Structure 1
Amino acid sequence: MTPAEYSALAHPRLSHPARTLYTLQLRRLVLEHQPARLNYPELGRALAVVDPSDPSGFSFQVTARQLTELFDELMEAGLLHVEVVAESEHYHQCSFQLPLLTQKVRSPLPERPFQMHLQWRPDEELPALARLCGVLDASYHEEELGEFIAYWLGRPEVFDSQHQWMLKFIRTLKTRRYVRRQPMVEQGYQQVTAAPAEAGPSKRAQQMIEEAKRLAQMSAKQEPDND
């Protein structure tokens, strides 16, 4: 179940039969690639609870009108979209979609850590997260992603959440781009990163020191010999 579905189903105004109808029936139809149509008899039988001790054989049943009300609940919650037939009093045989089945939002539950795997990809929150970390351009090459995945595949003892893996990836991009910005100088046939300037006296200060040494040496030569 996606975090968006969990958040919508947890709403206190959504009835228990509506939650059951969505999670055990409508969602199953879509995930099993069955025809996404609202079949009232099938869904009514699926919600019915058998009770052998009851003369009718059921301890819980829903009517067609109640099914329509349950669909209305799910549509108000944003969990269901029905392609309504004009001037129809019900939704029988209408096509439907589950908008939140593929929508991703942050879950109210903690994310479960996992190992790095070959199919890992950053999600849609990467650009915003990168900006918070000082990386304005969150675009990347597949080579960069491949190197990142390969590096962490070699460390199967590391388990992180999706958010933590993205932070690691952003730090990798930031480091690579910092190195790429360093000026290059030629040494023979190779290009190497220029070494940072060493701290010390400026060129003008060094000239003044050399001049002072030269004057001191000249003064010493001009002193008379008292012996």
Structure 2
Amino acid sequence: MTPAEYQALTSPRLAHPARSLYILYLRHMARGDQTQPLDYPQLGKALAISADGEYRYRVTPAALTALLEELQQAGLLQLVDKPRAQHYHGARFKLPLKDMSGLAPLPARQFAMHGDWRPDPQFEGLAKLCGLLDSRFDEPELGEFIAYWLGRPEVFENQHQWTLKFVRTLKNKRSIKRPPAVTDGYQQQPAKADAEPSKRARQMIEEARRLSGQADGDSNEKDA
């Protein structure tokens, strides 16, 4: 198991059946970094618990679908093809973290977002694994991401998980239709992005920091 897989699997948000499904079946039965077409009856049998000829625990097809989506959210699975829209029976997945064996161990400490946060050096590799071909970003994009999570100080993640969240944010933004290019004669030139953080991004960061400071002050008054 790679350090990246271990970090994703030990997330407290990942259900134990999802961990079992990944470790005992999907990873074990995969060829290279891809699964074979999934067979729901086999998956259900692999997760079922029986004693004295009776089932003590069984997984429904709907529950299997939810577990597979949970593993995708954790970055452990990446959909390759999906023959049916309603579920993942017959679908194939890539295990993107399985080939990251050469990476250094990831920090386990979780922390709330802070104003000086930056994605780690694994950012470009994670972006490609998640299907984000254009991994470039500017300061306004990073500032908006930081400002959003500064307003949610109750959310704690480790560095790898924060970087993965940023990758997904950029991927979602890239999927939105981009503004039309600026026409200059017979050539089309894309509109230039501001080199500095936008005024709105700076305001959001400052406001989030102010609210975070007030929350810390209230907490100290209560403790006193």
Tell me the TM-score range normalised by the shorter chain. Answer: 0.3 to 0.5
Higher relative contact order by CA 8 Å / sep ≥ 6: 1 or 2?
2
Bigger Rg, which one: 1
Compute the TM-score of the two structures, normalised by the length of structure 1.
Answer: 0.43
